[in-house]
Structure 1
Amino acid sequence: MNLRSVDLNLLVILDALLEEAHVSRAAQRLNLSQPAVSSALQRCRALFDDPLLDRGRGKMKPTPKAERLRGPIRDILAQVEQLLDPQIPKLSDLVQVVRISAADAPTALLARPLLEKLGQTAPGISVVFKPWLGPDALERELRTGDTELGVALFARRVDTIETETLLETSYIVAMRREHPVAESFDLDGWLAWPHVVVSGRGERYTPLDESLRAMGLSRQVGLVVPSFQLVPDILSSTNLLAMLPRKSFEERRNDNLIGVPPPLAVDGFPLHLAWHQRNVNDPGISYVAGLIRVILGE
C-alpha cells in the first residue's frame, strides 16, 4: 500500500466512530457534519476491506476486525500527537476525562480525596470510575483505550501494559462488637458462624475456601453481596462475619464493629496500578496516576 494515498485523518474519524459506535455522536464529537463522517466511514471500509461497524438494533456494533484495530489506532494517534505537540500544558489548562477501572473498595478509598485534589490543581480533569469486571476485562480495556488506568490486583505480565505495586494489604475478620464470639475469637468460632462473601460475579467460593478444603475444613457462606460498601451495615445488624481487606475496613468501620486477625494464616495481596504504554507521556493521565500513588500511600 502506498501511504501517500492514505488520508491519515481517516484514523482520527475511525477512532471516534469505534468508540461512539454511532455516526451522529462521532460527528458531534469531531465537530464535523454527519454526511462527512458517513463518507469517511465508507472510505475506511474500503481501506480496511471490512464493514467495521455493523448496524444493529438502535446502535452500530464494531466487527471483530474493528475491535482488533482499536488499540493500534489509539497507539498511532498518541504517537503522532506526541510527535507534533510535545509541550506539556499547565495542569490548570488540562481538559480531559481519565477513566479508572477499579473494584469498589479502592474506588471508595480514592474517590473523595482524588476529587478534592483535582479540584485544587486540575479542575478540568474529570474522572470516571468504571466497574471492576476482572483482570481480563481490564487488560482488554487498557489495550483498546476504553480505560486509562486500572487499580486492582493485576500481577501478571502483559506486553504493552505497565504495572506497579501501590501497596500490600492484609486481611482482618470483621464482626459486630457484641457478636457471641467477639471476646473469645478462635478458629472454631470463626467456622461456626455464617460469613459474608463479596463477589462482583456472585461467586460463593473464594481461594480461602480452597485453602480450608485442603485442611479438611469448611465455612458456611450465609450471604454474597457485590460490594464491600454493603458489608458494614450488614455486620452491624447480624451475627455474620466477613473477612475484609484491612485498609477497606479501617476506612468504613463504625463504633459498632471490631476487626480481629484471622485465626489462621491468610496471605495478603498487592494492589496494583496499571496503564498502557501509549499513555506514559500523557500529562493528565500521569498526574492522576501520581495522585493515586499519594492517596493510597498515605
Structure 2
Amino acid sequence: MNLGQVDLNLLVVLDALLREQNVTRAAERLHMSQPATSTALARLRKLLGDPLLVKQGRYLRLTPRGEALIEPVREVLGTIEQHIIAPPDFDPAHDERTFNLASSDYVGVVIMRPLLGRVNGLMPNVRLEMGALSGDAARMIERDEIDLVILPEVLAESMVSSSCSSAPVVRDRYVGAVWSQHPLAGGSLPLEALTRYPYLAYAPPNGCSLMDEDLERAGVTPRVEVTSVNFITMPFLMAGTDLVTIIPESLGEQLAPAAGIELLEPEFPLRPVRESAYWHSRRDADPAHRWLREQLLAVLP
C-alpha cells in the first residue's frame, strides 16, 4: 500500500464505523449520507484487504482485523486533532468545544451540577454533554471515546488500564436515612435495624453494590423490600414508610429537606465513598481538556 494514495478522510470514516459497528449510525455521527458512508466502507475494504464489518444475524460485527484497528486509528486521529488541528492554547470565552462526560446520578448532583453552574452562561461556546455510566465506561476511556468518566476507585482498579490518567474528585461517606417520622428518626442506625425494618437497597445496573459487600462482611442480610437503580430517587421513596436505607452523606444532605428524610449515624463500619475522574492519558497535554479538569477540581467541596 502506498501511503500517498490513502485519503485521510477515510480514517475518520473508519473510526466511526469501528466505534458504531453500524453504517447508519456511523453516517449520522459523521453527518454523511448512508450511501456515501457505504461507499467509503467499500473503499476501506479494498484498501485494507479485509471486510472489516461482517453480518452476524441482523447485526454487523467487527472482523479480527477491524478489532485490531480500533486503538491505532484512534491514536492517529487523536494525534492529528491535538497536535495539528487543535490550537496550542484554549480560550473558553471564544473557542468552541464539546466535552463528553459520564458519571452516576449521585455524582451528577454533588459534582456535575456545580460544574454546570460554573461553566453555563460564562463560556457560551463550551458545551458539556452528560451521560450515564454504562458497562462500557472503561472501554470508552481506553479507546479515547469519551473525555472524562467518574468511577468508584475500587471498581476502577480492575476496570481501567494503565493508559488512563486520573484525579480524585469524591471523598464522602455512607449514612443511614429514614422518613422524618420513622421510629428511628432522631437517633442512629443500628445494624439490627436493617433486618427489623424493610430495607431500600441500591441495585446498580451492573449488579455490583459496595454496600452489599460491607453488610455481608458485617454478617447481616438486610430485609430488602424495595430496590432502586438510582441513588437520587431513593430519598424520595421513603416518605410515609418504615423503610431504612444507606446513601452517600453529601447527597442526603442536599435532598433531605425536599424528600422529608433524616440522616442517621451508622453504628457499624462502612467503607468511605472514593471516586476519581478518569481520562485517556493522551488528553493530559490537551489545553482544552486541562481547562476542563481545572474547572472540575475548582467545584470540589
Deviation of the 1:221 alpha carbon: 1.2
Q: Which residue of structure 2 aligns with residue 114 of structure 1?
A: 115
Q: Which residue of structure 1 aligns with residue 101 of structure 2?
A: 100
Q: Which residue of structure 1 aligns with residue 10 of structure 2?
A: 10
Conserved? CA contact 1:202–1:225, under 8 Å: no
Q: Distance in 1 between matches of 2:248 and 2:282?
A: 32
Conserved? CA contact 2:186–2:262, under 8 Å: no
**What runs of 5+ residues in structure 1 fail to find an aligned partner?**
none
> Which residue among 269, 275, 278 is the counterpart of 1:274?
278
Conserved? CA contact 2:235–2:255, under 8 Å: yes
Q: Which residue of structure 2 aligns with residue 241 of structure 1?
A: 244
Query: Kindly tell me: are residues 17 and 181 of structure 1, through their superposed partners in 2, closer, same or farther at Cα, counting changes over 3 Å?
Result: same
**TM-score normalised by structure 1 residue count:** 0.84
Q: Distance in 2 between matches of 1:67 and 1:283?
A: 30
Equivalent AA in structure 2 for residue 233 of structure 1: F
Listed as ranges, the matches of 1:32-43 within 5 Å are 37-43=37-43
Deviation of the 1:2 alpha carbon: 4.8
Equivalent pairs counted in the alignment come to 294
The SS at the match of 1:261 is strand
Deviation of the 1:187 alpha carbon: 3.0
**Is the aligned partner of 1:139 residue 2:143?**
no
Equivalent AA in structure 1 for residue 238 of structure 2: L
Q: Distance in 2 between matches of 1:96 and 1:231?
A: 35
The SS at the match of 1:179 is coil
Q: Which residue of structure 1 aligns with residue 228 of structure 2?
A: 225
User: How much is the aligned-residue C-alpha RMSD, in angstroms?
Assistant: 3.0
Q: Distance in 1 between matches of 2:229 and 2:28?
A: 36
**Is the aligned partner of 1:166 residue 2:177?**
no
Q: Distance in 2 between matches of 1:14 and 1:128?
A: 24
Q: Distance in 2 between matches of 1:273 and 1:23?
A: 32
Can you list the C-alpha shifts for 1:15-50, whole angstroms capped at 9, x where unaligned?
Answer: 233345555665676576766544432222133332
Can you list the C-alpha shifts for 1:176-214, whole angstroms capped at 9, x where unaligned?
Answer: 1221122454333343112111122284x8444444444
The SS at the match of 2:257 is coil
Q: Distance in 1 between matches of 2:90 and 2:220?
A: 58
Conserved? CA contact 1:202–1:226, under 8 Å: no
Q: Which residue of structure 1 aligns with residue 51 of structure 2?
A: 51
% same residue: 27
Equivalent AA in structure 2 for residue 153 of structure 1: P
**TM-score normalised by structure 2 residue count:** 0.83
Query: Kindly tell me: are residues 33 and 181 of structure 1, through their superposed partners in 2, closer, same or farther at Cα, counting changes over 3 Å?
Result: closer
